[in-house]
Amino acid sequence: MKIFIDADGCPVVDIAVRTAKRYGLECTIICDTAHSIQHEGADTIIVDKGADSADYRLVNLVSVGDIAITQDYGLAAMCLSKKAVVLNQDGKRYSEDNISGLLEFRAVSAKIRRSGGRTKGMPKRTVQQDKEFEKALTELIGEGI
């Protein structure tokens, strides 16, 4: 079991790396040149800046039983197709049961924005969200060890 983090815009990189280190798991941070992120205890792969370049690298590296951390529904769907376990930044697990609805929501939101409309942004991150993510990741690792 390895942990892969889609680090572009990810608020839980520190927590994920610290948790991986605590359990002795390999952890890889993937980001583009605009977000060069380095952490002791994790490998960092920096890809060229471009649409979905970090996502494609991550999906090419992830394998069955690995953990992928992302808030991107499209990347989550690709990782699920490779039988990885996928968590978002709040510790919610993506699954075959919920990914279709999430992708549909993303498509509708994009259509609204293309037509000049606005969609609500993410609220300010809370300490409780960080705790929930860490708890979910720890439980997930416990299931696989």
The dihedral built from the CA positions of residue 124, 129, 130 and 136, taken in this order, carries a sign that is negative
Residue 18 CA to residue 130 CA, distance in Å, equals 13
pLDDT in tens, 23-72: 999 999 999 887 778 888 899 999 988 778 899 999 999 999 999 999 88
pTM of the model: 0.84
Query: Tens digit of pLDDT for each residue in 63-118?
Result: 999 999 998 888 999 999 999 999 999 999 999 887 776 666 655 556 666 777 77
At 99, which CATH number? 3.40.50
Total domains in the fold of the chain: 1
pLDDT recorded at residue 76: 93
Residue bearing the bigger pLDDT, 17 or 50 = 17
Which domain, by its residues, includes 108? 2-144
Give the chain's end-to-end CA distance (angstroms, integer).
Answer: 8
**66, 137 in Cβ contact below 8 A?**
no
Q: Average of pLDDT values for 113-139?
A: 85
